[in-house]
Amino acid sequence: LLYKPVDRVTRSTLVLHDLLKHTPVSHPDHPLLQDALRISQNFLSSINEEITPRRQSMTVKKGEVCLLPSL
């Protein structure tokens, strides 16, 4: 369930990218589409930057034992 909102943003980013490819530069919506695409790409990259260190710290190498803290 936690991935659904991010998945939606990812799909919207792809749609914006396709729309921008097919929108002439002279069209009044072109700069707005560029801004929306830039904002969504920045959002996704910030999420990836936050998740990557957590994944690396949670990864257990083969042969290592992972001891989880008791709750």
- Give me the pLDDT at residue 30, please: 97
- Least Cα distance to 16 among 39, 33, 38, 30 occurs for 33
Amino acid at 37: L
- Give me the pLDDT at residue 18, please: 96
Per the model's pLDDT, the better-predicted residue between 56 and 24 turns out to be 24
Query: Quick check: 71 pLDDT over 60?
Result: no
How does pLDDT run across 26-66, given as a tens digit for each residue? 999 999 999 999 999 999 998 878 776 655 555 656 666 65
**Predicted TM-score of the model (pTM):** 0.65
How does pLDDT run across 5-22, given as a tens digit for each residue? 888 999 999 999 999 999
3-state secondary structure of 21: helix
Question: Could you identify the residue written with the tokens 């990836």?
Answer: 48
